[in-house]
Amino acid sequence: MSSKNKKKTLRITQADFMLAQRRAARLEEIEAHGKPVSFRKALHKSKKAYDRKRLKRELY
Domain extents for the chain?
13-39
Contact 10, 3 (CB under 8 A): no
Q: Is the pLDDT of residue 54 over 90?
A: no
User: How far, in Å, CA of 54 to CA of 47, rounded?
Assistant: 10
| pTM reported for the whole predicted model | 0.47
Model confidence pLDDT, tens digit, residues 2-39: 566 677 788 989 999 999 999 999 999 899 988 887 77
User: How far, in Å, CA of 7 to CA of 52, rounded?
Assistant: 65
Residue 43 has a pLDDT of 80
Task: Measure the N-to-C terminal CA separation of the chain; round to a whole number of Å.
Answer: 83
Torsion of CA 51, 53, 57, 58, to 10 degrees: 20
